[in-house]
Structure 1
Amino acid sequence: RMRAQAGTPVAIEEEFSLLTCSIICHLTFGDKIKEDNLVPAYYKCIQEVLKTWSHWSIQIVDVIPFLRFFPNPGLRRLKQAIEKRDHIVEKQLRQHKESLVAGQWRDMMDYMLQVVAQPSMEEGSGQLLEGHVHMAAVDLLIGGTETTANTLSWAVVFLLHHPEIQQRLQEELDHQLGPGASSSRVPYKDRAQLPLLNATIAEVLRLRPVVPLALPHRTTRPSSISGYDIPEGTVIIPNLQGAHLDEMVWERPHEFWPGMWGARGLL
């Protein structure tokens, strides 16, 4: 798709978004997704949910919850998009249950369905239910598509502005995989063989984290951090962006420099 657009401006995040959605669908729902050409429809559904979710008419309900009881076209559209999303996942769940073979799995949904309704052997842990499988698929599709596409896009931006690092990365890959082996796959267990690649990924995530603030947490007991007392029951929202740019921690906090991740000798 990108080669076909050679010589013209490319909306690279859209390309990465479609690619990421395709991979997640394949891992979650199996090979038949590609055979039936369902990825475009699933991608469109995900985009509808994300676009509607980010509209001001929805965001304001988070700030002023009682507004949900007033007429809100945006909220109605969001509910319709979520219903369509759930219909897609429920259809896949039903098809997987009908073709499930004990002890075998073709994808993540098969793997999780193998242990649905089986009591856990670990004390204190609950059993896995179909609802958990459903929401795990939703989390991967909705939470994984744009976040991954955004990170990949920033990686391209940084490397375009640092061609010397891009060249060293290519040399590292050529050395490990062989020149021209662009279709070769590197198993995750062999990632230690690519220290500059690992450092580059870490640096992209440091400078451009998927979200600047982490999810809210609540303290379960009185605590203290750097001399500040935090009572039990306090809501804590970690500032990831602030930590990633802390001059007390990072040598060159505002620069793209993979060398700070132990790859200095490679640059």
Structure 2
Amino acid sequence: MSFIQLNNIVKTFNDSQRQTETLAIDDISLSLEKKEFACLLGPSGCGKSTLLNMVAGFEYPTLGSVKIENKVITGPGADRGMVFQQPNLMPWLPVWDNVAFSLKLQGVGRKQRQDAAQQYIDAVNLTGFEQHFPGALSGGMAQRVGIARALLQNPAVILMDEPFAALDAQTKLEMQEELVTIWQKYNSTILFVTHSVDEALILGSRVVIMTHRPGKIRDDIKIDLERPRDVTSNQFNELKRYVLDVIREEAKLAHEAQQTPTISH
């Protein structure tokens, strides 16, 4: 039995003013095993983040089911940690208190929260910044806090929605390397949404390519390259050329479609 199962997922969005429905995702089935690092890749608007939000329990399919360990997801849970595009830190709390915020909501005492937060602060290389406030952090450091906050819940699944998109190239490379190290250390299953072919191939043990809207699965590629990935190797660049060709074809098809298909009532 697969760890995460998305079974025949269909998602439509209603526009009550225009009396229309938009078909966003059309009959997607996807299974993930424990400890996989899967990257979702595809054109803008293809439903990548919508699928991620369904696994998080923030959204629900119109048809089909999303399950973890054969249990239907009915809402957010501590077994899933979410890292967003923006870290969404509380500016009035220091780093350690942001990391341990879920424990604060549970009424856990200060000393216990600090002790719990420290190992994850160390894991994301923020040792020494425990008492800093978010306003004093760089973008990369703020995202490290967001990752540490997700890890503290000890989730079986970490869901990441383009968390490095706003970072400069050098910081992005550093964060990618750190994320792989964290994944290998904590043995979580990661589902990672990205628009970047390079990022998907650097990070993923598997890359799932979606079509233009309505989103379907176009390709599902197992990445057997050694880690750390050598982006100059022939194998890496052969994969990159193939994936780029698929993405460009989907972008062209999306452009030719000109407008989102709608179903009128």
Larger relative contact order (Cα-Cα within 8 Å, sequence gap ≥ 6): 2
Q: TM-score surpassing 0.5? A: no
TM-score calculated relative to the size of structure 2: 0.26
The structure with the greater share of residues assigned to strand is 2
TM-score calculated relative to the size of structure 1: 0.26
Structure 1 or 2, whichever has the larger Rg, is 1
